[in-house]
Amino acid sequence: MFKFVGIQFKKALIYSCILGGLWGTQGYAQTQSAIDPQVLEDLVAANKILAAEGILDGWGHVSVRNPKDPTHYFMARNLAAELVTAKDILEFDFNSVPVNGSKEALYTERFIHGEIYRAHPDVNAVVHTHAPPLIPFTVTNVALKPLYHRAAFVAQGIPLFDIADDFGMTDMLIRNSAHGQALAKSLGDHPAVLMRGHGATVVGPSLPRLIGRAVFLVKDATLQQQAMALGGPIKYLNPEEAKLIDAREGYGLARQWLAWKRQVGIAIAP
């Protein structure tokens, strides 16, 4: 079994003041007081769910496009996902600059988010993960394929981004807009892009769909490695099967989304 940081945690213990009280960042209330409380709650929930599922740990980050201004997006300040509360959420423009001029420490690789939102208007949520089960598929010629019906979207193709192809020797981080633009180009119209020796970036039309894709992408990678270890031929999803499953990708996700939220300590209205 492939295990990675965070997957052992008991999901129900990840509660840590979910909505965190009043805005704590200087200038934040003035700039962001109009945020839809549901968007805020869902983004905090997404951070905690991804931490509980082992998709995010002290690194990686998740964001959501601002539904009131599609040229902006929301993401936490530089903080481990498990610890994020409402007061940690900042609003960014496509250049990945905080719109309120916040001096808080920011995620180095925030340019992933800004450039994907700029290049792909249909994308409304983004997560960047370093989940270990994905890494072997970024450094070998073994393609990640759909064998788990919950990961049928993998049949759309998961391209591989190698920063060295465009920028030579780097520390492999997406440190600026040029790096982010290259990644967004590699992503194309796919649901995710692998990053050589680094991890992956997953996108979705909504936060629940994004969380589902991130969770099941990693599960599919784990299952494929387990199936390969058994030896013998593997019967992957037929392309037509994958297409039919994809047509109902969001089916049942609403109930799972509510369950995930409760598991990380967010009260669900009856």
Question: Could you give the angle at the alpha carbon of 50 between the alpha carbons of 49 and 54, nearest 5°?
Answer: 115
Three-state DSSP at 260 gives: helix
5, part of any domain: no
**How many other β-carbons are positioned within 10 Å of the β-carbon of residue 39?**
17
| Residue-number span of the structural domain to which 27 is assigned | 11-263
The domain tally of the chain equals 1
The residues assigned a catalytic role are: 109
Residue 191 is assigned to a structural domain of this protein: yes
Contact 158, 144 (CB under 8 A): yes
Here the CATH number for the domain that contains residue 241 is: 3.40.225.10
Q: So what's the pLDDT on residue 11?
A: 43
User: Does residue 1 form part of some domain?
Assistant: no
Q: Is residue 4 part of a domain?
A: no
- The answer as to whether 255 is a domain residue is yes
Instruction: Name the pTM for this structure.
Output: 0.87
Closest CA to 263 of 13, 43, 46: 13
Task: Look at residue 268 in the predicted model and tell me its pLDDT.
Answer: 77
* pLDDT for the residue numbered 145: 97
Q: What is the pLDDT of residues 129-146, one digit of tens each?
A: 999 999 999 999 999 999
Question: Does 6 reside within a domain?
Answer: no
The verdict on residue 195 lying in a domain is: yes
